[in-house]
């Protein structure tokens, strides 16, 4: 029932993205001028939440635009109604709906759906990950020097040791191919299905990675924070790889 509702909610959100793609729709700014929210984010979110609440009126919701809808429940739905909003607002079809389901503090289900590529990624704790119903696996590449990487940048620049620019500089100075797609959830799924060997980002929110990190783990990959500690979507840093290049990528990120 949880999984069926997850699929229904993901599809409901995805339909809205398709319906409004290329506009017109209203766009406004949030934390910075270019941290955008469109009316489509809100429509997608409303469709997702009403689908969940129809089946489970008492479940806890954490969703990017409305925040927390607190219920006394062991199940929490963590929703990004459009991951890749800047792409969406510019008519770039690299964006998705991302929903993670946490039970008793553990992520048990995740779904990421990019309706423009017709790609639906699903993971169920202990049962593997799929892309359009076919099992997926991370890449088998063991050589960081031959890796294809992906990263993302937050809307707000924060200078620090091992800042996004410092790490990016180290990566490109090594001649490593690195991409920036603009959707952390898609970045994670593309690690999970072997298109990328590794992904790192400095400052994500729970809704960006809740589904994607489970999808990477269930596809055989490794996900930690920058220190190599157990990953929690409630802290900011993320390092997700095929497992083989985890340590060398962590060293690059941490300047070691």
CB 210 → Ca ion: shortest distance, Å?
10
| Residue 40 contacts residue 17 (beta carbons within 8 Å) | yes
| 67 or 126: CB nearest ligand IPD | 67
| Residue 180 contacts residue 48 (beta carbons within 8 Å) | no
CB 136 → ligand IPD: shortest distance, Å?
20
Instruction: Considering only the stretches 14-22, 61-69, 144-152, 231-239, report the one whose residues sit in contact with Ca ion under the rule CB under 5 A.
Output: 61-69
| 97 or 123: CB nearest ligand IPD | 97
CB 51 → ligand IPD: shortest distance, Å?
19
Rounded CA separation 114/92 (Å): 12
Q: Is 195 left (phi over 0), alpha (psi -120 to 50) or beta?
A: alpha
204 binds, among ligand IPD, Ca ion, none (CB under 5 to 8 A by kind): ligand IPD
Rounded CA separation 180/185 (Å): 12
Rounded CA separation 68/59 (Å): 11
Burial of 14 (0-12, 13-18, 19+ CB in 10 A): buried
Q: Report how many residues bind Ca ion under the rule CB under 5 A.
A: 6
Rounded CA separation 78/10 (Å): 12
Q: Which of 17, 61, 80, 190 binds Ca ion (CB under 5 A)?
A: 80
Rounded CA separation 149/206 (Å): 22
233 binds, among Ca ion, ligand IPD, none (CB under 5 to 8 A by kind): none
| 85 or 241: CB nearest ligand IPD | 85
154 binds, among ligand IPD, Ca ion, none (CB under 5 to 8 A by kind): ligand IPD
Where in 2-59 does DSSP place strands (E)? 27-29, 36-38
Rounded CA separation 253/256 (Å): 8
CB 41 → Ca ion: shortest distance, Å?
6
Instruction: Considering only the stretches 3-11, 55-63, 78-86, 188-196, report the one whose residues sit in contact with Ca ion under the rule CB under 5 A.
Output: 78-86
| 17 or 252: CB nearest Ca ion | 17
Site for Ca ion in 182-211 (CB under 5 A): 208
> Phi, psi (5° rounding) for residue 49?
-65, -40
| Sign (positive or negative) of CA dihedral 61, 90, 203, 256 | positive
Q: How, if at all, do strands 36-38 and 27-29 pair?
A: antiparallel
CB 2 → ligand IPD: shortest distance, Å?
24
| 11 or 247: CB nearest Ca ion | 11
Q: Is 65 in the site for Ca ion (CB under 5 A)?
A: no
| Residue 155 contacts residue 34 (beta carbons within 8 Å) | yes
CB 133 → ligand IPD: shortest distance, Å?
25
CB 143 → ligand IPD: shortest distance, Å?
26
In the complex, which residues of this chain contact Ca ion (CB under 5 A)?
64, 80, 82-83, 85, 208
């Amino acid at each position: 029932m949880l999984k069926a509702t997850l699929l229904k909610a993901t599809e409901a959100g995805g339909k809205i993205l398709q319906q409004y793609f290329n506009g017109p729709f209203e766009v406004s700014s949030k934390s910075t001028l270019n941290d955008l929210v469109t009316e489509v984010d809100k429509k997608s979110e409303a469709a997702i939440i009403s689908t969940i609440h129809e089946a489970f009126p008492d479940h806890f919701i954490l969703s990017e635009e409305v925040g927390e809808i607190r219920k006394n429940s062991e199940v929490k739905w963590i929703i990004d109604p459009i991951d890749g909003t800047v792409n969406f607002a510019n008519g770039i079809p690299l964006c998705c709906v991302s929903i993670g389901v946490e039970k008793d503090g553990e992520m048990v289900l995740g779904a990421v759906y990019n309706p423009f590529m017709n790609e639906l990624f699903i993971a169920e704790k202990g049962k593997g990950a799929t892309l359009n119903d076919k099992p997926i696996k991370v890449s088998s590449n063991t050589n960081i020097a031959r890796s294809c990487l992906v990263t993302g940048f937050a809307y707000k620049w924060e200078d620090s040791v091992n800042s996004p620019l410092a790490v990016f500089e180290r990566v490109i100075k090594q001649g490593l191919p690195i991409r920036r797609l603009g959707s952390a959830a898609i970045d994670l799924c593309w690690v999970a299905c072997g298109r990328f060997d590794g992904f790192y980002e400095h400052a994500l929110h729970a809704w960006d990675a809740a589904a994607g990190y489970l999808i990477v783990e269930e596809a055989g990959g490794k996900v930690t924070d920058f220190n190599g500690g157990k990953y929690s979507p409630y802290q900011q840093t993320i390092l997700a790889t095929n497992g083989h290049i985890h340590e060398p990528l962590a060293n690059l990120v941490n300047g070691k």
